Copies of this chain bind each other. A is one copy, B any other.
Amino acid sequence: MLIENLKHTLSKGVARLAGVVGAAMLLLVMSGAAHAEVPGESQFVFNTFSFLVHGFLVMWMAAGFSMLEAGLVRTKNTAMQCLKNVALFSIASIMYYLIGYNLMYSGVDGGFMGSFSLWGQDDSAAAAGKFVGDGAVGYSAASDFFFQLVFVATAASIVSGTVAERVKLWAFLAFTVVLTGIIYPIQGSWQWGGGWLSEMGFADFAGSTLVHSVGGWAALTGAIIIGARKGKYGADGTVKPMPGANLPLATLGTFILWLGWFGFNGGSQLAMGSAADAIAISNIYINTNIAAAGGVLAAIVLTQLIYKKVDLTMALNGALAGLVSITAGPDTPSLGLSAIIGAVGGVLVVVFVPLLDKLKIDDVVGAIPVHLVAGIWGTMAVPLSNADASFYTQAVGVVSIGIFVIVTSAILWFVLKMVMGGVRVSPEEEEQGLDMAECGLEAYPEFRGSQTI
């Protein structure tokens, strides 16, 4: 039974081969004993429950991104940032149903995309009494849909943070429609849908590349095409900081994301109906946690050394960078290696945030260092602990997905520019703040804040 279950997991996601290896090795050790004690229907319930619990944790990350971004923008753009995050989650929920899921998972067969069709639940195997093993799915269709859906929203949230404070609401929402309905699912099909990348042996357990760097590339493309905020970079190369207005909110957002990440990585085991799976998920939890811790401590120590002060926003980004870094392979490394992988992520953030400013790429919340740079690092670090992954294949995945996302999202931004008469608000509206300009209300109407003093 356990073997069947594992087979199933393997067949569903050759894509996640790397991730399963840990469990598989454990299984080999176990296979001598009479251990197959979890009945099939129990396994089905366990697997489904895992998707639901881990799925709601990932759903909760939407709140995390909202709070992080609402805390890191200036007051005058805060309501807009909240609005964008609520809206994008809603759009993702609907687009993934209309197009995304089947484009990502249905009939990919080693190719470049699935099919264009509405998703609908098929629980016929379970209804026929086949819960796990041959011909069975192993979990309820809707629980899997739920879990995959909440991942999509993550990618869109990343973009929203980078292009904050200047992008037009409706341009951003239109971008989100295509990102969550088409761009994300197509590249996702290459790996998790069982497409060409997964056949090559690419390893990306929970999405350092498939989710985070995708969001990061789209954000980078957007930041370049849309341009920096007015006044951010002086002609003489000076950088004008525009401090986030509410750091406790940003801290809350980071903790929410940290919590949600247990769902993100843990749930990506895709099963929980056996001791082997339970062990694997547990290991993923602690690796995920220590990677975040490593990211925080690296960022703290480094900012202390460089600036003689500790930058809270860097510590928060450090946590997230640690989490992104471990996401490609949270199942195979030891605790110690996980801490180091996360710490490197934290270092990358401290280095890349000012570097982007040098390049005049204006990333309001630091999403590019966190999700793109650490996402690449995390993907390339998989072979350190996973013998089935190779640096070459990892690089192929990173580059091919990078090119795909850059090209498609660049085209998309340009089309939107033409269709909507620009994707950026007017300089006056930017000065005034998007809250007044596009929402007609203020996030904190009673707290007078001035952006200038």
Instruction: List the interface of chain A (C-beta within 8 A of B).
Output: 2, 26, 29-30, 32-42, 44-46, 48-53, 55-57, 59-60, 62-63, 66-67, 70-71, 74-75, 78-80, 82-83, 85-87, 89-91, 93-94, 97, 118-121, 123, 126-131, 139-143, 145-146, 149, 169-170, 243-249, 251-252, 254-256, 258-259, 262, 266, 272-275, 277-279, 281-283, 285-286, 289-290, 292-294, 296-297, 300, 304, 307, 309-313, 315-316, 319, 334-336, 339, 438-451, 453
Contact = CB atoms under 8 A, between A and B. Distances in A.
A131 B94 CA distance: 40
A335 B71 CA distance: 34
5 contacts: A35-B131, A87-B315, A143-B282, A170-B304, A446-B451
A98 to B, nearest CB: 9
Interface of chain A: mostly helix, strand, loop or mixed: helix
A32 B279 contact: no
Contacts of A245: 444-447
A82 B443 contact: no
Given A45-B274, A440-B307, A52 B266 contact: yes
A204 to B, nearest CB: 22
Q: Which of A118, A286, A296, A334 has the most CB of B within 10 A?
A: A286
B247 A78 contact: yes
A256 B297 CA distance: 24
A35 B82 CA distance: 47
Q: How many copies does the complex hold?
A: 3
A441 B40 contact: no
A42 B38 contact: yes
A335 B129 CA distance: 24
B149 A289 contact: yes
A335 B119 contact: yes
A110 to B, nearest CB: 28
A387 to B, nearest CB: 19
Contact of A243 (B78, B281, B297, B441): B441
A52 B82 contact: no
B289 A255 contact: no
A169 to B, nearest CB: 6
A286 B96 CA distance: 12
B128 A33 contact: yes
Contacts of A300: 83, 87
Contacts of A311: 439-441
Contacts of A290: 93-94, 97
Contact of A285 (B146, B277, B282): B146
